[in-house]
Amino acid sequence: MKMNSQFRTFAKQVQVDLLALNDADLFRTIHQWVGGENASGASLNVAEDTLLVLGYTREGSETEALLHPQDNAPADEDARPSQWQAPSPHHLRTLLTTMDVNLFAQHVITLAFQSLHTIYPEWYEGVTFSAHLANYLRQLSTESAKYDESVVHRRMGKYL
């Protein structure tokens, strides 16, 4: 994927803002994008290479092959939806932190676009979408920080 400098700048900003989320919000955000549906309710069909890059692993694939070898015919593989195990929040953060901007744009921004474009069509695509996405993630981070702060104050109030 060839990127111009403006798109690269915004892709990097999205990466920074995504990584600014706490582990729980980061994990929830990516997992929602992976498990998302478009506006018509159809599954997004996330590419396998995107799932692998994000640290998702096939659930029980080796065990299933050993227990049910007759079920592993190519026709059966297409008929059964794959089950994927999400990475730990820490592992996901590590993968996203070490990802170069090209890989990040190819997999993460594309995934976000597939998930969010039908909800926010006014975000358009390309640089405009990335700018809106960075702002959206910044707002998520701010809201989460305010919530965390209010929880701390409530808990402190119990002890004062």
Give tens-digit pLDDT for 16-71.
999 999 999 999 999 999 986 555 555 668 999 999 999 999 987 554 444 444 44
For residue 56, tell me if it sits in a domain: no
For residue 72, tell me if it sits in a domain: no
Which of 65-74, 75-84, 120-129: highest mean pLDDT? 120-129
User: Based on C-alpha coordinates, what's the Rg of the chain?
Assistant: 19
Does residue 106 register a pLDDT over 70? yes
Does residue 14 register a pLDDT over 70? yes
For residue 19, tell me if it sits in a domain: yes
The predicted model gives 1-17 an average pLDDT of 87
For residue 30, tell me if it sits in a domain: yes
For residue 52, tell me if it sits in a domain: no
For residue 83, tell me if it sits in a domain: no
Cα–Cα dist 77/53, whole Å: 21
For residue 148, tell me if it sits in a domain: yes
Count the domains in the chain: 1
What residues make up the domain containing 118?
A: 5-45+88-159
Cα–Cα dist 59/64, whole Å: 9
For residue 51, tell me if it sits in a domain: no
The structure's pTM equals: 0.72
